[in-house]
Structure 1
Amino acid sequence: MSNSNKEKDSNAPKFKFNAYWIYGAIFLVLIAVQFFNSGDLATKSISKNEFTEVLEDNDISKIVVVNNNIAQIFIKEEAIKKERYQKLVNSTFYRKGTFLYEYNFGDLQNFENDVEKIRNEKDLNFDLKNESRTSMFDTIIGFLPFIILIAIWLFFMRRMSGGGSGAGGGGQIFNIGKSKAKLFDKDTKVKTTFENVAGLEGAKEEVQEIVDFLKNPEKYTSLGGKIPKGALLVGPPGTGKTLLAKAVAGEAEVPFFSLSGSDFVEMFVGVGASRVRDLFKQAAQKSPSIIFIDEIDAIGRARGKNSMTGGNDERENTLNQLLTEMDGFGTDTNVIVLAATNRADVLDSALMRAGRFDRQIYVDLPNINERKEIFEVHIKPLKLADDVNIEFLAQQTPGFSGADIANMCNEAALIAARTGKKAIHHQDFLDAVDRIVGGLEKKNKVITPKEKKVIAFHEAGHATVSWMLEHAAPLVKVTIVPRGQSLGAAWYLPAERMIVQTEQMLDEMCATMGGRAAEKIIFNKISTGALSDLEKVTKQARAMVTVYGLNDKVGNITYYDSSGNDSFVKPYSDDTAKKIDTEISKMIEAQYERAIELLENNKEKLTILAELLLEKEVIFKDDLQKIFGKRPFEEVEEKIERIIEEEVKVPPVINKTEE
């Protein structure tokens, strides 16, 4: 057989048995039996005159009165050979011993009197009896409304309980309390391994240790150690928590149960707790094994908070059962629980304690080196041109998660295909960044020349101020092409700092206010175009004053509560609130005046830059270097880097600092 035929056979829909076919077959058999046994195919209705004629000829062997209104006429065997009967016998499904005629007589008493009268006059010999019969089909029709209601109820029960999926037949109505976890074992090989997970070196190291626990438990238990009960993967969306769990399933070589936190949630009372019990029972039977619960915050939220239903909340009962199964009596089996969430702050403290989730593995956004590794994974299936620079793309995408980078690579491929290219070029990746961050280019957006000039000077103001400030992020490009909701944008390459100092935050705020400052200097008017800038600097200033304690007047105090319990409580007095508002306003206005001063001193260069932007619509770092010259701060940084490379490296002193 050829490969193409094999592929066709493998892709052909496989035969699947369905229990509903049995019900349908039984129903059809009942209908057929009723239909063929009823005798309706072999009978003919006759009138009163025809009945009287047959009766007087003494051809009737038996009359059966059914339900007091219909007479079934049976013909004698010797009389059935007559020509008048043979025509009917040959043209129907008549069977020997069944009735040939059916007579609807009306009133029973009159019928019996007429028959008895003719029997006495003609001295006839036949039997007459009454019978009460019930048709199965009529019975089914009578119960049809109830049958339909039961069928509808069963249908919705199946849909609500998962449609028949899940381990142990969780979709069946009588198995609704069974676990819906998907089992991966030696028969269902998972192809994802740690090689497919780029970056996340620290997280991979901890997870690999858990896999090693299950593969070689004696290595650890021989020293008196115990296998950890659980590990919680915490981090922003798209950073690879679920992918890491898939890699564990591919590497572990032990049974791996995977399900979502919402799989425990059901409208019926007690179902969630029952599914938790069944899940851990299955895992214990196949131990050593791993259970992975994705989005555990669906059932693991802190108890007693924002609950209108009190202690009998179904979700709380599910969580209580999970707590008991993870660390209660009789939980000494080799079952490790992995869970993932990006809402660790809302989880119950009992779930987070040692002995349940012994380890919390933080899966952070990738740094520049990890982004480069992630790019190398996602560009493997792509057809790239020679000008693609992976290192530059890694630098260009600070704050991107693994999912964002995967989306960017796919978007670049779509952009290249849309323009009819045979390979994906470097510019396609840059356009993909613009598309993801800024939104779709609005080519049909109507902008007047006056508005376009204001936008150009606004963006040129951002670029000029950021170029003049030491701690502002280096500029990559400036555009006045409208994208999404923005009319223009300036793209920067922010340094990946672990801590931020006051001067650095103030320089960033000053650069952000450069757009409005340019409008004020050139047009002596301001516009609504600075809305996003004002929102950004207000958040930064408020964080400096109330969160990080970077303001001298308010002092070294933070009003930030990491537990999230201060949402309805103001943690400071009214006098302090006034002081906070005053300091925020003073800080923002000071940076605004600073931006105006910088632009006044470079007004001529600002104008040249804005006119160039109006002409080209998109300008890059090289264009700014031609107008302003090289940034003096970059020369100093390059000199320091060269000195460091030439000197002998000394092991650094590590001081732990809170971010």
Structure 2
Amino acid sequence: MNNKGFNWFFPIMIIALLGFVVANSLGDSGAKSMDEDTFFKTMQTGKIQKVLIDKQAQKAEVYLTKDAKVESVKAQDKTPNPFSSLGMSPKADFSVKYGDLQLFLAKFETLKAENPAIKTTKDYAEGESPLVGFLIQALVWIAILGLFYFILFRKMGSGGGPGGQIFSIGKSKAKLFDEKERIQVTFKDVAGLEGAKEEVQEVVDFLKNSEKYTKLGGKIPKGVLLVGPPGTGKTLLAKAVAGEAKVPFFSLSGSDFVEMFVGVGASRVRDLFAQAKAKSPAIIFIDEIDAIGRARGKNNFSGGNDERENTLNQLLTEMDGFGTDTNVIVMAATNRADILDKALMRAGRFDRSIYVDLPELHERRQIFDVHLNKIKLDENVDREFLAKQTPGFSGADIANVCNEAALIAARNNHEVVTKQDFLDAVDRIIGGLEKKNKAIKPSEKRRVAYHEAGHATISWLVEHASPLLKVTIVPRGRSLGAAWYLPEERQLTTTEQLLDEMCATLGGRAAEQVIFNNISTGALSDLETVTKRAQAMVTIYGLSPNIGNISYYDSSGQSEYNFGKPYSEETATKIDAEIKSIIENQYVRAVQILTDNKDKLDALAGKLLEKEVIFREDLEEIFGKRAWDPELTEKPVTNTIPENGQEPKDDEGKISEGEIQAPESSAQI
């Protein structure tokens, strides 16, 4: 039942006790004897500092002066007793057996009277029993061993502290949840993720009723891999599986296998699977498995032993090493499945791969229901409305919105959390903290207003751009202004949709060109976004007629080991020219649209300078309703409580358009 390995405390205790006995038997058994004549001759030289007379033992203990001790050690070429600090060697230097105490004392006093230079003193002490001395020394050793056990071995169980690393460094760091410490999370606590829950519910059924499947000749899956963006609930789903199955659950991270010592990772893998087999049926959950499961390279650039690859090899061996009758299922989670080793992903190791995607509209509604149950809400809060305002949000993001809304309500001394508190929380998370005290020159503020009005104008006038929800020139985070949109939740994007979105993104710089006849550095985020989209159109999605239906995207993740490009220099030149052509064509298109609607652009910018924040209904007053967006125009939005949304996000999760960057240096706005 002891999974911590061999207990080294008792062998070390036996060795220490043997050392104690040897030290007392081979060391000095007592002070060296000295007769009375030698004692008094030495006393005349002034080398004796003190005499301790023991009446019961009829002996006197002699203590030399410091100089005499040094001289004695040098003369005998003797090393000091290493046990002297523990009280195992005698304190006295010599002992004198006297015949008659009265005669001994009379001679001592006579000698001191004849020679006043003698500084030797005498004292009396009662004899100490040998058993008492032995017990005192034994207690000293027991105290030392007790302290040694507490520091070195008691911490082995928790794996913490410097002592716990000595003998348990090769042991698994997995935290065990069993009948003593059960996980309370169930599938009721996991909102949304309906497809993923159906898959993992079968895993629970495998562990509870394995005979139901094995009697028909089926084999229980060995591994389940949860793949998805960060914050989508992969770890929560694994905990729910453990809570529902009510079996021992070993939880650890992929980085727990990594250590500076060679062979430690492989040893921890072996120990982990040994513990799981001993407690089967059981679940092993490895979070962030990409820390050890990264694809192995053909060349070892480090020039030596690769500890990570050894750990991965041991994991592959262990997942093949146990049979289906052991009822041990390995669950793992990662958001970088593209870089995992192919041997790890094959059937027989991770038989099932479950993709945990960002929640859809109805799933976001369910997630809000879970998190809002713990918050005191105002009656006017519409959960369907909140779900619509958070497109692209993960479960962790929604939890953060609810918590931030509660903090904002408390900061404003509200009794309940209102709808406006949630809208402010969404603004805070997407755009950053509002900077009300940031000083902006009137000329710069006017430029920012036209920049954001340019985004809003083109997004309203082109068909496939995302519907605008809010435009602001109030500084937030590092941005001086932002235009927020509600992106359509779609699975496929056409070329026309990409081009319209790029045109709207370039509307800010185009507005500066139309109004001021010059441009500024404020379009940094816009240019970065359109460049990435144009590169993806040409090199990944094959949407460029001049380059053709070719994709240079490597989904296996092996391209990071290559130093060359997958195309020739001639093709690279064509790609660069095509990317530039796409961007410049959309910029010219944006300038033309804004030139044709310059009066409306001026009106929108003026209203933005006046109010600092405008909403969709303000654009409807200037431009009219969008002909191709009837479902949105049928639902007007009040001006007192705006519908705040989120801009489309790029691959890194950043706001993808309508943002004007704050200055980092004198070269930028």
Same fold at TM > 0.5: yes
Could you tell me which of 186, 191, 202 is aligned with 1:209? Answer: 202
Q: C-alpha distance in 2, partners of 1:503/1:515?
A: 20
In structure 1, what is the equivalent of residue 225 of structure 2? Answer: 232
In structure 2, what is the equivalent of residue 521 of structure 1? Answer: 514
Q: 1:332 Cα deviation (Å)?
A: 4.4
Task: Work out whether residues 304 and 311 of structure 1, in 8 Å CA contact, stay in contact via their aligned partners in 2.
Answer: no
Q: 1:455 Cα deviation (Å)?
A: 0.3
Q: C-alpha distance in 1, partners of 2:408/2:453?
A: 28
Task: Work out whether residues 223 and 350 of structure 2, in 8 Å CA contact, stay in contact via their aligned partners in 1.
Answer: yes
Q: C-alpha distance in 2, partners of 1:367/1:116?
A: 106
Instruction: Give me the TM-score of the superposition, normalised by structure 2.
Output: 0.74
Q: 1:114 Cα deviation (Å)?
A: 12
Amino acid at match of 1:300: G
Q: C-alpha distance in 1, partners of 2:378/2:96?
A: 102
Amino acid at match of 1:322: L
Deviation sequence 1:420-449 (CA, Å, 0-9, x none): 111111111111111111111112211001
Q: C-alpha distance in 1, partners of 2:170/2:632?
A: 64
**In the alignment, is residue 73 of structure 1 matched against residue 53 of structure 2?**
yes
Q: C-alpha distance in 2, partners of 1:393/1:318?
A: 45
Q: C-alpha distance in 2, partners of 1:598/1:120?
A: 124
Q: 1:498 Cα deviation (Å)?
A: 0.4
Instruction: Give me the TM-score of the superposition, normalised by structure 1.
Output: 0.75
In structure 2, what is the equivalent of residue 489 of structure 1? Answer: 482
Q: C-alpha distance in 2, partners of 1:585/1:222?
A: 63
Task: Work out whether residues 60 and 97 of structure 2, in 8 Å CA contact, stay in contact via their aligned partners in 1.
Answer: no
**In the alignment, is residue 618 of structure 1 matched against residue 613 of structure 2?**
yes
**In the alignment, is residue 419 of structure 1 matched against residue 412 of structure 2?**
yes
Amino acid at match of 2:398: I
Amino acid at match of 1:72: L
Task: Work out whether residues 304 and 310 of structure 1, in 8 Å CA contact, stay in contact via their aligned partners in 2.
Answer: no
Could you tell me which of 595, 598, 602 is aligned with 2:590? Answer: 595
Q: C-alpha distance in 1, partners of 2:97/2:380?
A: 110
Distance 1:183 1:99, change over 3 A: farther
1:253-268 residue pairs with structure 2 within 5 A?
Answer: 253-268=246-261
SS of match in other structure, 1:257: strand
SS of match in other structure, 1:338: strand
Q: 1:517 Cα deviation (Å)?
A: 1.0
Distance 1:68 1:231, change over 3 A: farther
In structure 1, what is the equivalent of residue 551 of structure 2? Answer: 558
**In the alignment, is residue 629 of structure 1 matched against residue 624 of structure 2?**
yes
Task: Work out whether residues 72 and 99 of structure 1, in 8 Å CA contact, stay in contact via their aligned partners in 2.
Answer: no
SS of match in other structure, 2:480: coil
In structure 2, what is the equivalent of residue 315 of structure 1? Answer: 308
SS of match in other structure, 2:199: helix
Q: 1:566 Cα deviation (Å)?
A: 2.4
Task: Work out whether residues 272 and 318 of structure 1, in 8 Å CA contact, stay in contact via their aligned partners in 2.
Answer: yes
Could you tell me which of 386, 402, 407 is aligned with 1:409? Answer: 402
Q: C-alpha distance in 2, partners of 1:469/1:105?
A: 106
Deviation sequence 1:520-540 (CA, Å, 0-9, x none): 111111111111111111111
Q: 1:119 Cα deviation (Å)?
A: 5.0
Q: 1:179 Cα deviation (Å)?
A: 2.0
Task: Work out whether residues 233 and 340 of structure 1, in 8 Å CA contact, stay in contact via their aligned partners in 2.
Answer: yes
- Number of residues of Structure 1 aligned to a counterpart in Structure 2: 541
**In the alignment, is residue 578 of structure 1 matched against residue 573 of structure 2?**
yes
In structure 1, what is the equivalent of residue 114 of structure 2? Answer: none
In structure 2, what is the equivalent of residue 537 of structure 1? Answer: 530
Amino acid at match of 1:426: K
Q: 1:613 Cα deviation (Å)?
A: 0.6
Distance 1:73 1:294, change over 3 A: same
Structure 2 unpaired stretches of 5+: 1-8, 21-38, 73-93, 109-129, 635-669
Q: C-alpha distance in 2, partners of 1:415/1:257?
A: 38
Deviation sequence 1:40-59 (CA, Å, 0-9, x none): xxxxxxxxxxx99xxxxxxx
In structure 1, what is the equivalent of residue 495 of structure 2? Answer: 502
Distance 1:253 1:636, change over 3 A: closer
Deviation sequence 1:116-163 (CA, Å, 0-9, x none): 999599899xxxxxxxx9x999999xx9xxx99xx99996x889xx86
In structure 2, what is the equivalent of residue 301 of structure 1? Answer: 294
SS of match in other structure, 1:327: helix
Q: C-alpha distance in 2, partners of 1:120/1:636?
A: 121
Q: 1:548 Cα deviation (Å)?
A: 0.5
Q: C-alpha distance in 2, partners of 1:332/1:612?
A: 72
Q: 1:267 Cα deviation (Å)?
A: 2.7
Task: Work out whether residues 98 and 104 of structure 2, in 8 Å CA contact, stay in contact via their aligned partners in 1.
Answer: no
Task: Work out whether residues 199 and 374 of structure 1, in 8 Å CA contact, stay in contact via their aligned partners in 2.
Answer: yes
1:265-276 residue pairs with structure 2 within 5 A?
Answer: 265-276=258-269
Q: C-alpha distance in 2, partners of 1:636/1:376?
A: 26
Q: 1:333 Cα deviation (Å)?
A: 1.5
Q: C-alpha distance in 2, partners of 1:138/1:348?
A: 63
Task: Work out whether residues 225 and 333 of structure 2, in 8 Å CA contact, stay in contact via their aligned partners in 1.
Answer: yes
Q: 1:637 Cα deviation (Å)?
A: 8.7
In structure 2, what is the equivalent of residue 46 of structure 1? Answer: none
Cα RMSD for the two superposed structures: 3.9
Q: C-alpha distance in 1, partners of 2:344/2:104?
A: 96
Amino acid at match of 2:597: N
In structure 1, what is the equivalent of residue 641 of structure 2? Answer: none
In structure 1, what is the equivalent of residue 473 of structure 2? Answer: 480
Deviation sequence 1:458-481 (CA, Å, 0-9, x none): 101100100001100000000000
Task: Work out whether residues 170 and 176 of structure 1, in 8 Å CA contact, stay in contact via their aligned partners in 2.
Answer: no
Q: C-alpha distance in 1, partners of 2:306/2:564?
A: 26
In structure 2, what is the equivalent of residue 5 of structure 1? Answer: none
Q: C-alpha distance in 2, partners of 1:120/1:448?
A: 106
Deviation sequence 1:82-132 (CA, Å, 0-9, x none): xxxxxxxxxxxxxxx4789876566799998999999599899xxxxxxxx
Task: Work out whether residues 447 and 512 of structure 2, in 8 Å CA contact, stay in contact via their aligned partners in 1.
Answer: yes
SS of match in other structure, 2:183: coil
1:6-45 residue pairs with structure 2 within 5 A?
Answer: none
Q: 1:416 Cα deviation (Å)?
A: 1.0
Q: 1:220 Cα deviation (Å)?
A: 1.1
Task: Work out whether residues 299 and 315 of structure 1, in 8 Å CA contact, stay in contact via their aligned partners in 2.
Answer: yes
Distance 1:68 1:387, change over 3 A: same
1:71-470 residue pairs with structure 2 within 5 A?
Answer: 71-75=51-55, 97=56, 104=63, 119=103, 164-165=157-158, 171=164, 173-304=166-297, 307-309=300-302, 312-328=305-321, 332-470=325-463
Q: C-alpha distance in 2, partners of 1:185/1:113?
A: 71
Amino acid at match of 1:404: D
**In the alignment, is residue 549 of structure 1 matched against residue 529 of structure 2?**
no
Q: C-alpha distance in 1, partners of 2:386/2:479?
A: 23
Q: C-alpha distance in 1, partners of 2:559/2:591?
A: 38
Overall identity of the aligned pairs, in %: 67
Q: C-alpha distance in 1, partners of 2:104/2:403?
A: 100
Task: Work out whether residues 276 and 328 of structure 2, in 8 Å CA contact, stay in contact via their aligned partners in 1.
Answer: yes
Deviates more, 1:222-231 or 1:181-190: 181-190
Q: 1:298 Cα deviation (Å)?
A: 1.7
Q: C-alpha distance in 2, partners of 1:299/1:154?
A: 34
Task: Work out whether residues 276 and 321 of structure 1, in 8 Å CA contact, stay in contact via their aligned partners in 2.
Answer: yes
Amino acid at match of 2:275: Q
Q: C-alpha distance in 2, partners of 1:547/1:425?
A: 45
Deviates more, 1:594-603 or 1:258-267: 258-267
Q: C-alpha distance in 1, partners of 2:519/2:418?
A: 40
